[in-house]
Amino acid sequence: MRVVVSVFWMVAGTAWALEENSVDNLYDEHFPPLHPNCTQVASVNMERSLTDLLLLRIEVQLRELKQAEQASAGILREMVDILTDNKVSFTSREVSCPGNFRKFGDTCLYLAKETDLTWEAARVFCQDLGGDLAVFRDANAFAEALRYVKSSVAAKDTTAWVGGRDHLVEGEWRWVDGEDMPRGTPFWGDYNYVREPAQGAAANCAALYGPDGFLVHDGVCGSKYKPLCQIKLSRK
Ligand SMILES: [Ca+2]
């Protein structure tokens, strides 16, 4: 009898245990347990959303800044163009030569073909035009002046006054701007195979002598020749 009761309780206990396990499994299956970090996950997701929102705002602001920058760059470019045009305009205004003067490098030249004056009067004539009798800084400037004079006057016997003289000390030739006049080739010419200047104290003013290819000769200051006037565009 005791054996029968024990077996009964063992069978009943096992059945109850099996039934209990089965219920737990079903519950877990249909009601899975909450994740232990459930609250943390929600918080992380919220932070990500905020970060995304901030990134989006930053991106929009960057785009707006870029558009503003492009607009500003366009305006700046236009300003630079306008200033450049003004600079060119001012520069060209500075370097333009007045009236009948022709531009050669940084100077303007004008040969008054219809005018014959003494050296002093010729100088005043040029000064009244805002310049002075022409001087030549170097051989290139002299060559340019010769080309201009030769192209301006048809007559080879024309002579033109330039801004050089030796009236203070015989033989010491100076330009009207105070600089020493160069001597010899290619400036000075020859007369009857004699190197100019050759007339001593009788001739103290410099002229471009047409019959000698407009090379420089000493002339009598009271003679009347055509003024070769010059306006300097810079202080060089
Ligand atoms: Ca002389």
Q: How far is the CA of 181 from the centre of ligand 1 (A)?
A: 13
- According to DSSP, residue 168 is labeled S
Q: Can you give the pLDDT at residue 53?
A: 79
Task: Evaluate whether 220 touches 205 at the Cβ level (below 8 Å).
Answer: yes
Task: Evaluate whether 220 touches 202 at the Cβ level (below 8 Å).
Answer: yes
What length is written for the chain? 236
Task: Evaluate whether 204 touches 165 at the Cβ level (below 8 Å).
Answer: yes
Task: Evaluate whether 162 touches 206 at the Cβ level (below 8 Å).
Answer: yes
Q: How far is the CA of 169 from the centre of ligand 1 (A)?
A: 8
In this structure, of 48-52, 159-163, 166-170, the range with the lowest mean pLDDT score is 48-52
Q: Can you give the pLDDT at residue 80?
A: 61
In this structure, of 23-27, 100-104, 109-113, 207-211, the range with the lowest mean pLDDT score is 23-27
User: Does residue 57 or residue 200 have the better pLDDT?
Assistant: 200
Q: How far is the CA of 91 from the centre of ligand 1 (A)?
A: 41
User: Residue 111 and residue 133: Cα distance in Å, rounded?
Assistant: 10
Tell me how far the alpha carbon of residue 98 is from its chain's centroid. 26
Q: How far is the CA of 70 from the centre of ligand 1 (A)?
A: 71
User: Does residue 231 or residue 2 have the better pLDDT?
Assistant: 231
Q: How far is the CA of 6 from the centre of ligand 1 (A)?
A: 159
Closest CA to 224 of 134, 173, 160, 148: 160
Q: How far is the CA of 67 from the centre of ligand 1 (A)?
A: 76
Q: How far is the CA of 163 from the centre of ligand 1 (A)?
A: 14
Q: How far is the CA of 174 from the centre of ligand 1 (A)?
A: 11
Task: Give CATH for domain 102-232.
Answer: 3.10.100.10
Q: What band does 201 get if pLDDT is binned at 50, 70 and 90?
A: very high
Residue 1, SS3? coil
Q: Can you give the pLDDT at residue 145?
A: 95
What is the arithmetic mean of pLDDT over 212-222?
97
Whether residue 33 is predicted with pLDDT greater than 80 in this model: the reply is no
pLDDT averaged over the chain? 80
Whether residue 187 is predicted with pLDDT greater than 90 in this model: the reply is yes
What does the pLDDT look like over 111-129, one tens digit per residue?
999 999 999 999 999 999 9
Residue 3, SS3? helix
Q: How far is the CA of 120 from the centre of ligand 1 (A)?
A: 15
Q: How far is the CA of 128 from the centre of ligand 1 (A)?
A: 26
Q: How far is the CA of 37 from the centre of ligand 1 (A)?
A: 114
Whether residue 202 is predicted with pLDDT greater than 90 in this model: the reply is yes
Q: Can you give the pLDDT at residue 66?
A: 82
Residues in contact with 108: Cβ distance below 8 Å, sequence separation at least 6, in sequence order? 97, 98, 101, 102, 131, 230, 231, 232, 233
